[in-house]
Amino acid sequence: MSAMTTLLRRELWEHRAILVTPVVVGILILAALLLPIVAGTFGDVSIDGLPDDLEDLTPEKVRAIWTVAGAGLAFPFELAMVLVTAFYLLDCLYAERKDRSILFWKSLPVSDAEVVLSKLVTAVVVIPAVTFAVFAVTSLAGWGITAGFLSSLGDEGSMLVAGPGSVFQGIVLAAYLFAAQALWYLPFYGWLLLVSAFASRALLLWATLPPLALMWLERAGLGTNEFAELLGHRSVGFLESALRTEDATAVTRLSNGDTNISIEATGDVWRLLDPVGFLASPGLWAGIAVAAAFVAGAIWLRRYRDEA
C-alpha cells in the first residue's frame, strides 16, 4: 500500500495538469458569473415584475432548477477531465521511456504491474476525485455569488433563490456520474495505456488509426457499422446504464415524424440514480474484461520495452 501511495504521489507531482486544469475551469466559470453581476451592479439592476412564465414558479420548481443547473455545471469539468485523462494516459508510459527515467524506476523494488496499475488508478480514481473536489467548491461558490445577487434585488429576486441543499443534490449527481463514467471508460483507458507502452512516436495516430481502420474495414467488407456503434455506445452508454432515465425524460413522436425528447427538471435526484443496475450491467463487465486485457499487454510491454 505504501508503494502504491508513493507511485500515486509521483503521478500528481509529475503531471500538474491533473490539478491545474480543473482549477482553471473553475476560475473561468466563477469569472463568467461575476462579470455580468459586477456590470449589472453598476447599472442599478432591479426586477420590476417577473415574466408571466416565471410567476407560476413554486419553491419546488425553483429547487429543481437549481439542482439541474448545479449538475449541468459539471459538464465543462467532465470534458476537461476526459481530455486530461486521455493525454495523461497517452504520455505516462511513453514519457518515462523517452527521458530514460524508466531505468531509475526499474532499479527500485517496484514491479511493472504496480507502476502500470498506479497510472490506471490515477486515471480512474485520482483525476475524477480531484476534478470533483474543484467542481464541488465551484458549485457552492457559484451558488453563493448568484443567490447573493438575486437576493439583493428584493423580494422578487429572492423568490428565485433556493437553499444550498438543492446545489448539494446536483453535486451528488455529478459525483455519481463521474464515478460511473470512469468505470465505463475503462476500455478506452486500457487502450491508451497500451498505446503509451508500445508507441515510440505519433501517439495520437496510434491511438486513433487502428479503431478507424477497423471501422473502415467492417464498412467496406461487411457493409455494417457495428464497431462504430459499439464505440458510440461506449462513449455515452454509461448514462443509460447508470440512471433511471425513464423517470426524468419524456419522448414524444411529432406528426412530421420527428422525435421530441424533453427532460423533466427534478429536485429529487435520488430516484434517478441506479447504482445496482449499473454494476449489474453486462456492458460494464465486458468493458472491464477488455480493459484488463489491454492493461496486461501494457504491463508486458513495459517489462521488455525500455527505450522509446
With bands split at pLDDT 50, 70 and 90, how would you rate the model's confidence at 127? very high
Higher pLDDT, 151 or 94: 94
**Which of 13-27, 38-52, 199-213 bottoms out in mean pLDDT, i.e. has the lowest?**
38-52
**Alpha carbons 250 and 6: distance in angstroms, whole number:** 49
**Which of 8-12, 25-29, 118-122, 268-272 bottoms out in mean pLDDT, i.e. has the lowest?**
268-272
Higher pLDDT, 134 or 221: 134
Helix axes 226-242, 164-184, angle to 10 degrees: 150
**Average pLDDT of every residue of the chain:** 78
Averaged over 103-112, what is the pLDDT?
72
Q: Residue 272 has what pLDDT?
A: 78
**Alpha carbons 105 and 236: distance in angstroms, whole number:** 37
Cell of residue 23, nine digits:
482549477
Burial pattern 269-303, b for ≥16 Cβ within 10 A else e, equals beebbbeeebeebebbeebeebbeebbebbbebbe
With bands split at pLDDT 50, 70 and 90, how would you rate the model's confidence at 43? very low
42 burial class (0-12, 13-18, 19+ CB within 10 angstroms)?
exposed
pLDDT greater than 70 at residue 228: yes
With bands split at pLDDT 50, 70 and 90, how would you rate the model's confidence at 229? confident
**pTM of this structure:** 0.80
